Amino acid sequence: MDDALHFRCQELVEQLTHYLDDALPPEQMRLVRDHLELCQGCSAHLEQLRRAVDLIGAAPRAAPSPEHDRRVEALFREWAAGR
């Protein structure tokens, strides 16, 4: 039986972020690609993950508020004073 069929959906889902980062060994990358060609559900999940990553990457970065900065500074001073 084909290796891609043995690569179950749950195992694939656990590998998708590494797959997107191209951080899997070559044989594992091949198994993921082969499975994605055969499984519409996993392919759809991968596309959802890609969209989520794109949306998160496009989100504006908010700077901390002045109040936040003051609170962090106060906590650091307390820590440095040994309290």
CA 56 to chain centre: 10
- 32: which 2 tokens? 């993921």
Is the pLDDT score of 2 beyond 80?
no
Q: How many domains does the chain have?
A: 1
pTM value surpassing 0.85: no
Question: What digits encode the pLDDT tens for the residues 19-30?
Answer: 999 999 999 999
CA 64 to chain centre: 24
Question: Mean of the per-residue pLDDT values for the chain?
Answer: 87
Quote the DSSP letter at residue 76.
Answer: H
Structural domain including 45 reads: 3-80
Is the pLDDT score of 16 beyond 80?
yes
How much of the chain is in helix, strand and coil states, percent to nearest 5?
75, 0, 25
Distance from C-alpha of 22 to C-alpha of 82, rounded to nearest angstrom: 45
